[in-house]
Each structure stands twice: as structure tokens, then as C-alpha cells.
Amino acid sequence: MASGSGGEIQWCFSQVKGTIEDEVTEADIISCVEFNSDGDLLATGDKGGRVVIFQRDLQAKAAIPSRGEYNVYSTFQSHEPEFDYLKSVEIEEKINKIRWLKRTNKNHFLLSTNDKTIKLWKVAERDKKPEGYNLKDDGGIMRDPSSITSLRVPTFSPMELMVEASPKRVFSNAHTYHINSISVNSDLETYLSADDLRINLWNLEITDQSFNIVDIKPANMEDLTEVITASEFHPNECNMFVYSSSKGTIRLCDMRQQALCDSYAKIFEEPEDPTNRSFFSEIIASISDVKFSHSGRYMITRDYLSVKVWDLLMESRPVETYPVHEFLRSKLCSLYENDCIFDKFECSWSGNDRHIMTGSYNNFFRMFDREGKKDYTLEASRDNMKPGTVLKTKKVCTGGRRKKDEISVDCLDFNKKILHTAWHPQENIIAIAATNNLYIFQSKD
């Protein structure tokens, strides 16, 4: 990557998808981004309940490896708004998470979820159509049986390629609270779904029952001290999963120990620095995302101000800590007032686990090189964006005097936030969701 060799990655602009209008409708805001296991498909979900799948141009990829544009492959409405009449609450159609299943035949499968209902979608190509029916004419209208004098053998004839998305399973009525995570197991048979207080284990073939594997709901809700914020299966060990909490802890569970994983195998927790203690300490300690490395040895967690790397063999503290936007520590009061302090940022690993990416404000996103011990800030912007343009690093200045290429912390736009990012599983191609636009960047090499 700048591939596997030393030296930092030079990122170039590749594409941007989405409209330029200043007025953005709420339904068009992208709420999740996910590459499939070989990186040739990229799915986005939005607040309007739609899933858009982009496919890599494989001819361009063959001509120039590590290149290839992504073009719209399929668009479908995954979820519709619903109303829970028992609780008198609306259930939004917004797609919270998309997870691809590993491909086992020519079709693709993905799970998508809103707050309450998970759906398994099959995405299939059709380029042949049956012709020569006996009981129907070519227009599909039923023929008069008395007019049929001979028997025909139907045949398949070529047709223009059609991509069809069809719901194969609907997994519903298992969550009282909002679903924040889904994760497909490495056994390719089961997956988990997590809400604020419970984690359920599903079989992909069975929709009417799930198994509750974590339940942190206290007998008296007044005793509630934390909620589950994210959960993920280990990439290789099908019996292990982690979940993170609003208190900043990560619990590793082993399903071989007992059926209900209320007691964990390990807990990863960093002691709080008393010098940084403030009214906001508990809020900013809440973990918004947890991801295992591809090797399965490490995991990253994202809290409000930092990304931490944990070694599964060391629970007492993270092995690496990267400040994302430490300059906002002095602004926590105003971020609390405008609710930005509750934003849930995601994080991603590069394919070789050397780099980490996460988002920030002002359409900035951050890159951390674990080997080179370097970090840099880049911007997802349409300004001067021709394909191949190298991104310039950005700097935020906190003092009174700022240099020419710096931006003052007081000038940051907190409405422009990058919450959702995805890294191609094998190559240096990244997808960044910025409000209603999807930016795709790739390394210069």
C-alpha cells in the first residue's frame, strides 16, 4: 500500500457522488457506508431508508490496478417509515447500518437495519429472459387455450442487464430499544444485533426467533448507569464478540463459556486522568464505534476526542492513543449546547491494519499512520477537485495568530461533520460520507 512499503500515502481525489445544492433534504443525508468483502461493491444507506450500491468499473481496474471508478449499480428502498401504535411512536426509515455477507455464489447479500427491523437483501443480476410460453403471448397476456394447437419449448434469450434487489428475510420484533449495531459472524450462519441494553444472536435462516446473549437492563431502570453503544464479532473466532459502552469500557465475551454473556471474558478500560476531569468527562468517554483489526489481534475504539488502539492481550490500557481534535476540549461547553458533543463518529482500519481513519468537523477527516507515527488532516471538498488532484493537508490553529494555510478553530463549521467512513479491504481506496455527498479518494501510486 503506498502499498505495504514505507512512506505515507498521498491521497488523490477520485469521485464525488451526490448533488451540489445548498439546501439538503433530510432524507438525502448519508447514514452509513460499507464496502463488501472484495471491495468491488460499495453500499450507502441514507435517512430516507434508501440503499444505493456502487460497483467498481472492473475494466478500468484491469487496465490500471488500484484504479477504477464506482458507478451506480442498484438503488432500492430498504425501509419505510412505520408507526408503533402500542407505544405511539414513529419508527424512522433511516438506515443505521449495512453489513455485507461474504459472497458464496454469483449473487450478493447484505443486511440493512433501521431502529427496529433488520432485512436481508439479495442483489442479483439478470441478463436473460424466458420466451416462448405456451399459455402466454410475448406481451405476457394469457392466450385462449382453445387456440393453442402445438406445444412449444420455452427458451432463454439475452436481454439488457437488470440488477434486482429483493428482500429474502425480515428480522423484526426483537428489540425494544434502537438498534445501533449489526455484525455478521465468521461462521457465515449467524449475526448479532445490538440495541442500548441487549444483544441478540440470529441465525440467517430463522426470522421468528433470536437468542438473547447480553442483557444489561437492570431490574429497576433507575439503577441504569450505562448503555451499549456498539458491538462486533471477532473476524476469525466465531465464538468471540465485543461490545462497548457509554462509560468508555469494552467487554470481550466468549460464547463458549456460557449462553448468556452477562459476565465477560475480558474488560478493556483506561483509568481516567484526574487532571482532565470535568462536567463533560462521562459524555466524551462514551465509545461511539469499535472495530477489530483484520488480523483480529487489535481493536480500535472511537470516543469523542480520540481513537484508541487496544491489544486483545492487554486490558489495562490502550497500546496507542491518537487525539482526533484535541483543540475542541476548550469548546466542550458550546458543543454541549448545540448537541454536537453527542455526535457518533465511526472509525476504519486500512486493509493491512497500518492506518486508521476517522472523521471530524468542517468536512475534515483524520488519518493515523501507526508505523510512521504520523497523523494528518484532510478535507472532503468539491473545491479544485479534478480526478487525480492530490489532497493538501489541513491544519487547525488554536492561538491568536494563524499562518496562511491554517484555519482558526473558531471558523470550523460544526454542521459539516464526517461521521461515516469506509476503507477498501485490500487497496488504498476510501469512501467518505459528507452530509449528502459520497467522496471517494485513492492513493496516488
Name the least confident of 76-90, 233-247, 295-309, 366-380: 76-90
Say how far apart CA 433 and CA 29 lie, in whole Å: 9
What residue type is 259 in one-letter code? A
Helix, strand or coil for residue 285? helix
Say how far apart CA 155 and CA 159 lie, in whole Å: 13
**pLDDT tens digits, 146-155:** 887 788 788 8
Which whole number is the average pLDDT over 17-29? 83
Q: In what helix (H) or strand (E) does residue 90 lie, and over which residues does it extend? A: strand 89-91
**pLDDT tens digits, 393-429:** 888 887 767 777 788 888 889 999 999 999 999 999 9
Predicted local confidence at residue 2, as pLDDT: 40
Higher pLDDT, 205 or 159: 205
The DSSP annotation for 99-114 comes to: EEPPP-SSSEEEEEE-
Say how far apart CA 348 and CA 160 lie, in whole Å: 37
Which whole number is the average pLDDT over 130-141? 76
CB count within 10 Å of CB 445 equals 14
Say how far apart CA 344 and CA 94 lie, in whole Å: 15
50-89 core/surface letters (b: 16 or more CB in 10 A; e: else): bbbbbbbeeeebeeeebbbebeebbebebbeebeeeeeee
What average pLDDT is seen over the chain?
89
Predicted local confidence at residue 60, as pLDDT: 62
- Position 66 pLDDT exceeds 80: no
Contact 346, 288 (CB under 8 A): yes
Say how far apart CA 158 and CA 194 lie, in whole Å: 44
Please give the backbone phi and psi of residue 410, each rounded to the nearest 5 degrees, phi first.
-75, -15
Distance of CA 205 to the CA centre of its chain: 23
Which whole number is the average pLDDT over 202-222? 93
Q: CATH fold of 11-443, please?
A: Methylamine Dehydrogenase; Chain H (2.130.10)
Name the least confident of 31-35, 43-47, 161-165, 190-194: 161-165
- Position 67 pLDDT exceeds 70: no
Contact 345, 419 (CB under 8 A): yes
Higher pLDDT, 87 or 69: 69
Contacts of 241 (CB under 8 A, 6+ apart): 183, 192, 199, 231, 232, 233, 234, 252, 253, 255
**pLDDT tens digits, 328-338:** 998 999 999 99
Q: What percent of the chain is predicted at pLDDT more than 90? A: 63
The domain limits of the chain are 11-443
**pLDDT tens digits, 87-125:** 788 889 999 999 999 998 899 999 999 999 999 999 998
pLDDT-based confidence at residue 83 (cuts at 50, 70, 90)? confident
What residue type is 361 in one-letter code? Y
Contacts of 188 (CB under 8 A, 6+ apart): 101, 102, 104, 204
pLDDT-based confidence at residue 64 (cuts at 50, 70, 90)? low
What residue type is 148 in one-letter code? I
Q: What percent of the chain is predicted at pLDDT more than 70? A: 95
Which whole number is the average pLDDT over 342-359? 95
Distance of CA 376 to the CA centre of its chain: 22
Which whole number is the average pLDDT over 215-242? 94
Predicted local confidence at residue 143, as pLDDT: 80
- Position 4 pLDDT exceeds 50: no
For 225-228, the CB contacts below 8 A with 24+ separation are 227/196, 227/197, 228/180, 228/194, 228/195, 228/196, 228/197, 228/198, 228/199
Name the least confident of 121-135, 186-200, 289-303: 121-135
